[in-house]
A and B are shown apart, each in its own frame.
Chain A
Amino acid sequence: MSSIRQAKQQRIPAFLRSWGGVFGAGWLIFMFLASITARWWRPYDVAEQDLIARLQGPSSEYWLGTDAVGRDLFSRVFTAGALPLQASAVMVLVAFGIGLPLILIAAERGGRVEEAIGRFAETIMSLPSTVILLAAIGAIGNRIYPVMMIFGLLVSAALYRILIGVAKSSRQHLYIDAARVDGMGSIRVNLAHVLPSMARPIAVQAAIVYAIGLLIINGLAFLGFGPGEPQPSWGFMIKDASDNIFNSPWMMVPSRRRPLAHGHGGECAGRCAGRTPRHPGVHPP
């Protein structure tokens, strides 16, 4: 009977088998939904100013306090989430969209093809990503989606470096050869056998890369490349808080909560999925 239980357990992803993983995943889902829907339930408009109640601590009226012009931090924190959450998701899609096909091709063909793709990835990985992103903003302007797509390109090289070994060892399985003897085409073998066997490391990397994307977006917003006032952004709220740190240290707390929560949620889900996140080349600023 234990073998049946084992088989059933296999369908539950490993990171949901520990409390840390459940917490991380649940927190991420909650934050994601809350941020995407914030515009419909937030208690105040993000631009609504209460000039009497400026730089206040938390109260029953303003749950997380107010900023320098008396805007509700609770509403702003949640509203600010939507853009980074979406832009980072686009970045992850681009990174995997470029990375995975290259990984699968290199793992299947081996030899010179793999060497050429590997060289290419190594070159991309050595590019200093933060500086490239600033250069991109300087050239094409403060447009978050195209900039994050360029970041996705840079990240795809790191993904290649991490996942190529997984893909190659996955192809060592004899059931891949058996499927090929069946007469299964290359694309079908990859979709039906190679990719599913890589699902766990792919999920781990996606979670880590997603968290890194959020941190990058917030870092850029901190430097002033956010959505622009009066639209809220986490990074700029930290910047705002640091400008007011002499007279209102409280502002640091809510503004920090969001980036941290997401970074930690992703990191936690990633780590609990069985692998210490180690990302050569990409790292939160």
Chain B
Amino acid sequence: MTTTVQSNPPAIEVRDLVVRYGGGRRAMKTPPAVDGVCFDIAPGETLGLVGESGSGKSTIGKALLGLQPPTEGTIWLHGKDVTTASLKERRTLASELRVVFQDPYSSLNPARRIGQTLAESLRLIGIKGDAARARAITTLESVGLPSDSIDRFPSQFSGGQRQRIAIARALVRDPNVLVLDEPVSALDLSTQAQVLNLLADLRDEHKLAYLFIAHDLGVVRFLAHRVVVLYRGQVMESGPVEDVTSRPRHPYSVALTAAAPVPRPAEQIDRRAHREALSVGSASTAPPDPKGCPFASRCPLADGQCHAERPMLRLIGGQRVACHHAEQVGVTWPPPPN
């Protein structure tokens, strides 16, 4: 990751982000939800953030949005430090940084018409009345909804339509960075594709930068340019999405790639055998040794060094990998499927 170019700062820059939940002495003993994460997103670029549940990916999104104060580290938005900006101070910034949440049933107030929800957001930046209504209608049309949606209630829409409304709510303030927190995981497959296509079109049309949070590598592969793989709040591997998905260098990324299901039964059988050959255990509840690699307890390649020494991110090929045995991955391990 190159240092910031003064003339054209990244849309988002995150350095050494640490987030702990709770306060006091007891919280200091438990491992943080996010532990020393760095990444940046160029304008118009999409960064995928993947990991299983509990990996801290949604917490990173919340920290960016100001919903969860970071314990340590810095967040820049277009070169401006917003780490400690309160939600109110963010009101001016908020037009630049917006969010689409996972659950479209919970993210829209059921008692308010769509127009009211959109207008509420506009009123906070001083756009009221007919101007707000006109802008709301334009935005709804741009996400593929009829203009009369504005006078309806959320209960009158399907999940996919609601997610379009949530996107419209994000876009109505004309932002240039969007945090997408698993925006399609709550939708069925055919709707997922529609919403993903819409997001891709909007990105090209408005030159939007996305932080795309997901647990499904397939979805990330479709939309993201680069990807960051998280495990227990730490970056395991990051790099261009093609490299990470087709030639993963970290045992955890290998397991994630192998876990993605495919719609062809014959291939699925092969992949199951392959997955079992990896012998990657499932997540244990015991916290890992803070000195060692967080993945060591599940990793088939783990040795004494892995338990004793936390691996740093190293540049290998096109990606950065935090693994002592990254050179072996893809060469002597995993064993080829028979």
Contacts and interface: CB of A to CB of B under 8 A. Distances in A.
B88 A185 contact: yes
A183 B87 contact: yes
Interface string B93-121: 01001110111001111110000010011
Nearest to B62: A177
A179 B118 CA distance: 10
A193 B125 CA distance: 19
B208 to A, nearest CB: 16
Contacts of B117: 175
B67 A7 contact: no
B22 A174 contact: no
A179 B120 contact: yes
A245 interface: no
B325 interface: no
A4 B120 CA distance: 23
Contacts of B97: 181
A111 B26 CA distance: 13
B156 interface: yes
Interface in A182-239: 182-185, 192-193, 196-197
A59 interface: no
A178 B107 contact: yes
B39 interface: no
Interface string B114-136: 00010011001100000000000
A247 interface: no
A173 B125 CA distance: 23
Contacts of A174: 101-103, 106-107
A183 B88 contact: yes
Chain A binding surface SS class: helix
B310 interface: no
B107 A181 contact: no
A196 B110 CA distance: 11
B88 to A, nearest CB: 6
A3 interface: yes
Nearest to B172: A182
Nearest to B89: A183
A197 B110 CA distance: 9
A178 B101 contact: yes
Contact of B124 (A3, A173, A184, A197): A184
Given A4-B156, A192-B120, A175 B88 contact: no
A181 B66 contact: yes
B53 interface: no
Contacts of B124: 182-184
B237 to A, nearest CB: 29
11 contacts: A173-B107, A175-B108, A175-B109, A177-B65, A178-B169, A182-B91, A182-B173, A183-B88, A183-B92, A183-B124, A185-B88
Given A112-B23, A182-B120, 14 more contacts: A7-B153, A10-B153, A175-B108, A177-B67, A177-B101, A177-B107, A178-B166, A178-B169, A181-B97, A181-B99, A182-B121, A182-B173, A183-B87, A183-B90
